[in-house]
Chains A and B, each alone.
Chain A
Amino acid sequence: MKPRHKRVAVIAGVLVCVGVACGLVLNAFQSNLVFFYSPSQVAAKDAPVGRTFRLGGLVQAGTLQREGLSVDFVVTDTLTTIPVRYRGILPDLFKEGKGVVAQGQLGPDGVFVAREVLAKHDENYMPPEAADALERARTAGTAKEVYK
């Protein structure tokens, strides 16, 4: 092979590698994005059924019930509530009345089955998703009042 051909071959090889990698990356990216929804959006049937997403808000006080390994609680954005079921150990900073983000799927019965429950590492810190859900609910609430 002439030097020029070799150079072309090297460049072609690199391009193929990069192309394959890009394909892998974009494919993995497409199927692994996890979207976030607030309880109001879930209640309005905006959230997909049978696909993993994140639900954020506050744990409604007095709704936490543990039976053996499984836990039930209600997530609220102060307008709407969604029941959540989880099996396993809750994080240390999970508390009634505090912010929470749950990742899982919405069942056909309207119960959100969480596979992961995230609470944050600092007592006073609100997960951004939970804060966002409350903020949305607040603005939606005032909008309604203006309507009346």
Chain B
Amino acid sequence: MIPELGQFALLLALAVGVIQGFVPLIGAAKGRADWMWVARPAAQTTFVFVATAFLCLASCFVSNDFSVLYVASNSNSALPLPYRFAGVWGGHEGSLLLWLMMLSVWTLAVAQMSSHLPQALVSRILAVMGLISVGFLLFMLTTSNPFERLSPVPPDGNDLNPLLQDPGMVMHPPMLYMGYVGFSVAFSFAVAALLSGTLDATWARWTRPWTTAAWTFLTIGIMLGSVWAYYVLGWGGWWFWDPVENASFMPWLAGTALIHSLAVTEKRGAFKSWTVLLAIVAFSLSLLGTFLVRSGVLSSVHAFATDPKRGLFILIFLAVVIGGSLALYAWRAPKVGLGARFSLMSRESMLLGNNVMFVVAMLSVLLGTLYPLVLDALGLGKISVGAPYFEAVFVPLMAPVVFLMGVGPLASWKSALAPDLARRLRWAAGVSVVAALVTGWVAGRISLGVASILTDLWERLRPTATQPGLIGRVRQLPRSMAGMMLAHLGVAAFAFGVSMVKTYEVERDVSMRPGDTTELSGYLFTFRGVRDIQGPNYDGVQGLVEVTRGGQPEAVLRPEKRVYRVQRNPMTEAAIDPGPTRDLYVSLGEPVDAGAWIVRVYFKPFVDWIWGGCLLMALGGAVALSDRRYRLKRRETQTSTTAAGVLT
């Protein structure tokens, strides 16, 4: 009964989605208020139906309804409850439903929070989002229906892939999808602006919080994936340049560029058509990412059983969305215009530099990811592009980015004076030269970024005649400014963590008998043997490794090797002792002979700074979102429209 209800809800969502996609669009084109009015209630109704379908599938998982094919292939009655719920997005069909669910959440959010926007703009935005949901609904209903029944009903399910039975599975996909799909809002804003032909500073101000929100979610999503890979794959790496990781990284790079160019469009009215193009690109890359990951053209933990019909559908959908929006762009962008001019030495040109770097970085990732696929599709042989390529490209590209990140916010808009900039940055420059001399080029570069941000902060928080108290000055600091500084400090922390791990990490594979010791960077690891353990749905062994430093006990680590009962796959669970300055990491390899095991031990200095930096970036995004200026109501935004009009 419940699966049929879910199926029916999806069909209803499709019907309402078609109305949401076409009626307001035609209404906006013809200027008919009653047709435009349809957008909001239609969006709300679509949300209700999609949410119903989602809850139906979740309830099938929770109640172990193995008569549903998708549940039977991705769950098991012995699976703990949180993983049964996460099993909803453990396979292809369910993750599409999750995608759709997130899209409806964003659409509903736009519908509810857009009372201050002009009706025509809101109608167009909601219509574009409706069309996207129609595409995904058609895809689900024709090629990948999660509610398909299975007959005869199996006694038990095939279980969730053991690799996915992890707390990361509960958090990582929803966050990542929230970010991916969030760019559809910026995309819809861009398409709406192209359709209407008007794009001004207010448009940018309305688009900014949505883009920042999507970017924040995506940052957290990628970070969670990275942490998960670090502790669960047993390889101790935090980023593998795997095509699937790249698929999530490309929209992030484009989104980062978009956030910065939107700032210029809002403040200075410049970069207009470029901003629109970036919004289209960011969402197209999200779609491409979904395609790469879900169509099975890539071999990875994220790829599920493949069906050529699905690949073809996504390919056509991609072509329609990307091709259509780019064609619209080529046709309408001249109307939007380039925007205000600026001098060579200004914050605009520094932000332009940022944009160039991020887009080039994005394109180089795209090349490395797609080239093997294209070559394979053309039958020209199988190749792979590994981490060395991406590292060789990324490190030199990101060096100027860190520099610009420090200097850019200090430069004034429109036209900055080089001597003034040099004077304000003299302390920062001095500090970084010293840091570079003492610890090397990388640390010097990072410290330039940090010192410049601190200089900026000092200039803003320095006692002034009007506001002598520090707390008052902090409160006067605009939230968007504080958010930017936090995010930039996050980048610095991230870069520091990466450099330290790259330079000083130590890894060793050793064969150890109980009682054997091995020494790593001053830490003494003693292997005490293994014992059998039993989990809810797995059996395994747990090793015991004691770590001492200078004779003092430092940590006790218990790495595990598990075999899940249904799929009989072995799984390595690493044991980690985290710390602010280092992680100690131990994972079990395989038993050799007479109680000896091959054990992998790692010393990872400052590795947690990588994710701490990502968290700071996300926190910066959240703080920027809380800026008062985004909460202005209609009347005030109209006044500032006029003001902006005068400015540009």
> Which positions in A face B, CB cutoff 8 Å?
1, 3, 6-7, 9-10, 14, 17-18, 21, 24-25, 27-29, 31-36, 54, 66, 68-69, 87-90, 92-93, 103, 120-123, 125, 127-129, 132
Q: How far is the CB of A114 from chain B (nearest CB, A)?
A: 14
The answer to whether A28 touches B568 (Cβ under 8 A) is: no
Contacts of B275 in A (CB 8 A): none
Q: How far is the CB of A119 from chain B (nearest CB, A)?
A: 11
Q: Measured between alpha carbons, how far is A35 from B8 in the docked complex, in Å?
A: 49
Contacts of B569 in A (CB 8 A): 92-93, 123
The answer to whether A69 touches B598 (Cβ under 8 A) is: yes
Instruction: Say if the beta carbon of B522 comes within 8 Å of chain A.
Output: no
Most buried by B among A3, A93, A121, A128: A121
Specify which of B353, B567, B571 is in contact with A17 (CB 8 Å cutoff).
B353
Q: Lowest 3 CB-CB distances: which A-B pairs, in order?
A: A89-B589, A28-B392, A32-B389
Instruction: Say if the beta carbon of B396 comes within 8 Å of chain A.
Output: yes
Q: Measured between alpha carbons, how far is A17 from B299 in the docked complex, in Å?
A: 34
Contacts of B385 in A (CB 8 A): 29, 32-34
Q: How far is the CB of A91 from chain B (nearest CB, A)?
A: 8
Specify which of B344, B381, B600 is in contact with A9 (CB 8 Å cutoff).
B344
The answer to whether B381 touches A36 (Cβ under 8 A) is: yes
Q: Measured between alpha carbons, how far is A79 from B570 in the docked complex, in Å?
A: 30
The answer to whether B509 touches A88 (Cβ under 8 A) is: yes
Specify which of B161, B382, B587 is in contact with A121 (CB 8 Å cutoff).
B161
The answer to whether A123 touches B393 (Cβ under 8 A) is: no
The answer to whether B360 touches A32 (Cβ under 8 A) is: no
Having A18-B356, A31-B388, A92-B569, one finds 10 other A-B pairs with CB under 8 Å, namely: A25-B393, A28-B392, A36-B383, A68-B511, A68-B592, A87-B509, A89-B234, A89-B600, A120-B299, A123-B569
A128/B299 contact (C-beta < 8 A), A17-B360, A21-B397 known: yes
The answer to whether A89 touches B364 (Cβ under 8 A) is: no
Please name the residue on chain B nearest to A126 by beta carbon.
Answer: B299
Q: Indicate with 1 or 0, residue by residue over B339-377, a CB within 8 angstroms of chain A CB atoms.
A: 001011000010011001100100010011001000000
Instruction: Say if the beta carbon of B384 comes within 8 Å of chain A.
Output: yes
The answer to whether A69 touches B384 (Cβ under 8 A) is: no
Contacts of A14 in B (CB 8 A): 352, 356
The answer to whether A36 touches B341 (Cβ under 8 A) is: no
Contacts of A28 in B (CB 8 A): 388-389, 392-393
B:391-418 near A, CB below 8 Å: 392-393, 396-397
Contacts of B367 in A (CB 8 A): 25, 29
Contacts of B567 in A (CB 8 A): 123
Contacts of A92 in B (CB 8 A): 234, 569-572
Specify which of A3, A9, A34, A68 is in contact with B384 (CB 8 Å cutoff).
A34
Q: Measured between alpha carbons, how far is A35 from B592 in the docked complex, in Å?
A: 33
Q: Measured between alpha carbons, how far is A132 from B381 in the docked complex, in Å?
A: 10
B:541-595 near A, CB below 8 Å: 567-572, 587, 589-590, 592
Q: Measured between alpha carbons, how far is A21 from B300 in the docked complex, in Å?
A: 29
Instruction: Say if the beta carbon of B163 comes within 8 Å of chain A.
Output: yes
Q: Measured between alpha carbons, how far is A18 from B400 in the docked complex, in Å?
A: 13
Q: Indicate with 1 or 0, residue by residue over B504-537, a CB within 8 angstroms of chain A CB atoms.
A: 0000011100000000000000000000000000
Q: Measured between alpha carbons, how far is A9 from B388 in the docked complex, in Å?
A: 34
Q: Measured between alpha carbons, how far is A29 from B369 in the docked complex, in Å?
A: 11
Specify which of B300, B353, B396, B568 is in contact with A123 (CB 8 Å cutoff).
B568
A32/B598 contact (C-beta < 8 A), A25-B364, A25-B393, A121-B300 known: no
Q: Measured between alpha carbons, how far is A88 from B507 in the docked complex, in Å?
A: 11
Q: Measured between alpha carbons, how far is A87 from B341 in the docked complex, in Å?
A: 60
Instruction: Say if the beta carbon of B386 comes within 8 Å of chain A.
Output: yes
Instruction: Say if the beta carbon of B113 comes within 8 Å of chain A.
Output: no
Q: How far is the CB of B363 from chain A (nearest CB, A)?
A: 8
Contacts of B371 in A (CB 8 A): 29
Q: How far is the CB of A29 from chain B (nearest CB, A)?
A: 6
A89/B598 contact (C-beta < 8 A), A10-B352, A24-B397, A36-B381 known: yes
Contacts of A27 in B (CB 8 A): 392
Contacts of B300 in A (CB 8 A): 121
Q: Measured between alpha carbons, how far is A27 from B393 in the docked complex, in Å?
A: 9
The answer to whether A24 touches B396 (Cβ under 8 A) is: yes
A33/B392 contact (C-beta < 8 A), A89-B600, A127-B299 known: no
Number of chain B residues whose Cβ lies closer than 8 Å to a Cβ of chain A = 46
The answer to whether A132 touches B161 (Cβ under 8 A) is: no
Please name the residue on chain A nearest to B304 by beta carbon.
Answer: A122
Q: List 8 A-B contacts (CB under 8 A).
A: A9-B344, A10-B349, A21-B397, A29-B389, A34-B384, A92-B571, A93-B569, A128-B299
Instruction: Say if the beta carbon of B301 comes within 8 Å of chain A.
Output: yes
> Which positions in B face A, CB cutoff 8 Å?
161, 163, 234, 299-301, 341, 343-344, 349, 352-353, 356-357, 360, 364, 367-368, 371, 381-386, 388-389, 392-393, 396-397, 509-511, 567-572, 587, 589-590, 592, 598, 600
Specify which of B343, B386, B570, B571 is in contact with A32 (CB 8 Å cutoff).
B386
Q: How far is the CB of A103 from chain B (nearest CB, A)?
A: 8
Q: Measured between alpha carbons, how far is A33 from B388 in the docked complex, in Å?
A: 9
Contacts of B570 in A (CB 8 A): 92-93
Specify which of A10, A35, A88, A123 is in contact with B344 (CB 8 Å cutoff).
A10
Specify which of B343, B353, B383, B509 is in contact with A35 (CB 8 Å cutoff).
B383
The answer to whether A24 touches B392 (Cβ under 8 A) is: yes
Q: How far is the CB of A16 from chain B (nearest CB, A)?
A: 10
Q: Measured between alpha carbons, how far is A128 from B298 in the docked complex, in Å?
A: 9
Most buried by B among A88, A92, A125: A92
Contacts of A103 in B (CB 8 A): 386
The answer to whether B590 touches A89 (Cβ under 8 A) is: yes
Q: Measured between alpha carbons, how far is A7 from B367 in the docked complex, in Å?
A: 30
Q: How far is the CB of B357 from chain A (nearest CB, A)?
A: 8
Q: Measured between alpha carbons, how far is A9 from B341 in the docked complex, in Å?
A: 14
Q: Measured between alpha carbons, how far is A9 from B349 in the docked complex, in Å?
A: 11
Q: How far is the CB of A113 from chain B (nearest CB, A)?
A: 16
Q: Measured between alpha carbons, how far is A66 from B591 in the docked complex, in Å?
A: 10
Q: Measured between alpha carbons, how far is A105 from B251 in the docked complex, in Å?
A: 35
Most buried by A among B234, B357, B393, B571: B393
Most buried by B among A89, A90, A132: A89
Specify which of B386, B571, B587 is in contact with A34 (CB 8 Å cutoff).
B386
Q: Measured between alpha carbons, how far is A24 from B357 in the docked complex, in Å?
A: 13
Contacts of B388 in A (CB 8 A): 28, 31-32
Contacts of B600 in A (CB 8 A): 88-89
Q: Measured between alpha carbons, how far is A9 from B371 in the docked complex, in Å?
A: 33
Please name the residue on chain A nearest to B345 by beta carbon.
Answer: A6
Most buried by B among A1, A9, A88: A88
Contacts of A1 in B (CB 8 A): 344
The answer to whether B382 touches A122 (Cβ under 8 A) is: no
The answer to whether B234 touches A33 (Cβ under 8 A) is: no
Please name the residue on chain B nearest to A7 by beta carbon.
Answer: B341
The answer to whether A121 touches B360 (Cβ under 8 A) is: no
Q: How far is the CB of A130 from chain B (nearest CB, A)?
A: 10
The answer to whether B163 touches A36 (Cβ under 8 A) is: no
Q: Measured between alpha carbons, how far is A17 from B592 in the docked complex, in Å?
A: 54
The answer to whether A121 touches B598 (Cβ under 8 A) is: no
Please name the residue on chain A nearest to B360 by beta carbon.
Answer: A21
The answer to whether A129 touches B356 (Cβ under 8 A) is: no
